[in-house]
Chain A
Amino acid sequence: MSMILGVPVAVLSGQLLIGIINGAFYALLSLGLAVIFGLLKIINFAHGAMYMLGAMATVIMFDMLGLNYWVALFVAPVLVGVFGMLIEYFLLRRISGQDHIYSLLLTFGAALMIQGVLTNIYGVSGLRYAMPDAFKGGMNLGFMFLPYYRAWVIAIALVVCFGTWFMIEKTKLGAYLRAGTEDAQLMQGFGINVPLLVSLTYGFGVMLAAFAGVLAAPIYSVTPVMGSHILIVVFAVVVIGGMGSIAGAIVTGILMGIIEGLTKTFYPPASSAVIFLVMVVVLMFRPTGLFGKEA
């Protein structure tokens, strides 16, 4: 068997694949956080809960209504997006313009409540969600085995990330978002309905999280606490990439997944800490993050 640095190629590429998959989730989640932070200047601590709601909704809709994966892929993000817009309209809007810490505490509190209610009902042991039939099996690439579902997750995550980047950087709606990020008040003075734009942006950001949740349902353990686990890592990713940079969030997410995967191969004990180590180093040399604008 061929080896690289004393590690079998199959093991290395397997860990690399897991790294890219995790990176795809980090990218989707940090992208939503970056979009929300850009316009609302809110550090959305409810983001993990929205990811969890996407996954839970997928399982619950299947168990109770028999709705399959493909339906969930559209319906769950929309439901969570609407839920997010209600939170924005009834809660976040009331504290807009206040210090960051208020929205941080509010979203953190909302996340704890959502998580608490669902834990009460479903417990924390994890719900089972069967792999959709279309994705059973995989293909042998010669040097490794690639499960179809993992290939799908990478592909669709990249498509959604690129689509979001394109929408923000290249379209009129995106120009509103970019301009609103700089000076929302002036935008409103031009006749743009900024409060509506804010609601839609928050809804879209949490939709991305819920979409990631649906993708996660067949491969990760679906529990009410799954969001709080991943959120800490995603925040580290956002800090590394730099708050508010769209392309930065995507690239950093995938990169950090890969670094995590490689660490798992070469020095497993450090794998859960490596992202935080990178964060510390980046903060020391570039406090605004790899892609952040100099303050």
Chain B
Amino acid sequence: MSRGPDKEYEQLRVSGLHAFYGESHILHGIDLVVHRGELITLLGRNGAGRSTTLKAIMNMVGRRTGSIMINGEETMACAPHHIARLGVGYCPEHRGIFSALNVQENLTLPPVVRSGGMSLEEIYTMFPNLYERRFSQGTKLSGGEQQMLAMARILRTGANMLLLDEITEGLAPVIVEKLGEVLIKLKEKGLTIVLVEQNFHFAAPLADRHYVMEHGQIVEEISADELDAKQSMLNDYLGV
């Protein structure tokens, strides 16, 4: 297995993706490609369609047209549970920690979808807080701990492509820093990561490429080495 981005292997290819919630047309023809081992971000303002893009990849929105290829396989007709089994791990914006389950039950809930996932021991080594609180009710954890749990949960399944929605939102800087360290470790392991992120300063040093979204479309693609040159344009798009 190769480490680092493998430009030959397209883990995700989205072409001409439109998505609708009832009557509202949210995504207007998204095209993006993610190679194995890459970390890309979807940047943009609130309501630009970044979260919807992740949900559409998971087949969790109402109606979709276009094409979504995962590992070269067309998935538009796949039920969500089949998409997960292609090795996709999804961490929703609301974190989705189950209050009826304790921490360990939350952690072991998602079924293993591929071999090569982290063991419980490895996860508890990476997130010692979760071990200490493993018998607490999932939603009794602090926001940061819940976010760690939501991440840890999909690392155990062996998913090799992670869709992470706003993982740093509302968290203290020290927790954000810890999440950054985790993402670097996951990149070293060769995982492919699609990061929806509001916090550009968090995402910039981690990402290989950035897609900028506005009004349900991708308006700009910026690679890591173009960042400095395109900074002022990016600021305009993000409104910072």
* A interface residues with partner B (beta carbon < 8 Å): 172, 175-176, 178-179, 181-183, 185-195
Cβ-defined partner of B99 (8 Å) among A172, A182, A186: A182
Q: A186 to B84: give the CA distance in the assembly, Å.
A: 11
Report the minimal beta-carbon distance from A38 to chain B, rounded to whole angstroms.
10
Chain A contacts of B110 at CB under 8 A?
190-192
User: In the complex the two chains form, is A182's CB within 8 Å of B100's CB?
Assistant: yes
Cβ-defined partner of A189 (8 Å) among B58, B101, B105, B108: B58
Closest partner residue, chain B, to A169 (CB atom) = B100
User: In the complex the two chains form, is B111's CB within 8 Å of A191's CB?
Assistant: yes
Q: Judge if B64 is at the interface, Cβ distance under 8 Å.
A: no
User: In the complex the two chains form, is A195's CB within 8 Å of B60's CB?
Assistant: no
Q: Judge if B90 is at the interface, Cβ distance under 8 Å.
A: yes
Cβ-defined partner of A190 (8 Å) among B84, B101, B105: B84
Q: Judge if B201 is at the interface, Cβ distance under 8 Å.
A: no
Chain B contacts of A186 at CB under 8 A?
90, 92, 96
Q: A191 to B83: give the CA distance in the assembly, Å.
A: 7
Q: A98 to B81: give the CA distance in the assembly, Å.
A: 21
Report the minimal beta-carbon distance from A227 to chain B, rounded to whole angstroms.
30
* B interface residues with partner A (beta carbon < 8 Å): 58, 60, 79-81, 83-85, 90, 92, 96, 98-101, 105, 108-111, 113, 154, 157
Chain B contacts of A185 at CB under 8 A?
60, 80
User: In the complex the two chains form, is A179's CB within 8 Å of B109's CB?
Assistant: yes
Report the minimal beta-carbon distance from B107 to chain A, rounded to whole angstroms.
11
Closest partner residue, chain A, to B87 (CB atom) = A191
User: In the complex the two chains form, is A190's CB within 8 Å of B111's CB?
Assistant: yes
Report the minimal beta-carbon distance from B57 to chain A, rounded to whole angstroms.
10
Query: 22 A-B residue contacts at CB 8 Å?
Result: A175-B101, A178-B98, A178-B100, A179-B101, A179-B109, A181-B100, A182-B100, A183-B96, A183-B98, A185-B80, A186-B90, A189-B81, A189-B83, A189-B84, A189-B92, A190-B84, A190-B90, A190-B109, A191-B85, A191-B157, A192-B110, A195-B79
- Chain A interface main SS type: helix
User: In the complex the two chains form, is B81's CB within 8 Å of A192's CB?
Assistant: yes
Beyond contacts A176-B109, A182-B98: 20 other A-B pairs, Cβ-Cβ < 8 A, are: A178-B100, A181-B100, A182-B99, A182-B100, A183-B98, A186-B90, A187-B109, A188-B81, A188-B84, A189-B83, A189-B84, A189-B90, A190-B109, A191-B81, A191-B84, A191-B85, A192-B110, A192-B111, A193-B81, A194-B80
Greatest chain B CB density within 10 A among A176, A182, A189 is at: A189
CB contact under 8 A between A189 and B80, given known A178-B98, A182-B99: yes
CB contact under 8 A between A179 and B98, given known A186-B92, A190-B109: yes
Report the minimal beta-carbon distance from A247 to chain B, rounded to whole angstroms.
12
Nearest first, the 3 A-B pairs at minimum CB distance are: A191-B84, A190-B110, A178-B100
Q: A185 to B79: give the CA distance in the assembly, Å.
A: 11
Chain A contacts of B79 at CB under 8 A?
188, 195
Q: A189 to B111: give the CA distance in the assembly, Å.
A: 11
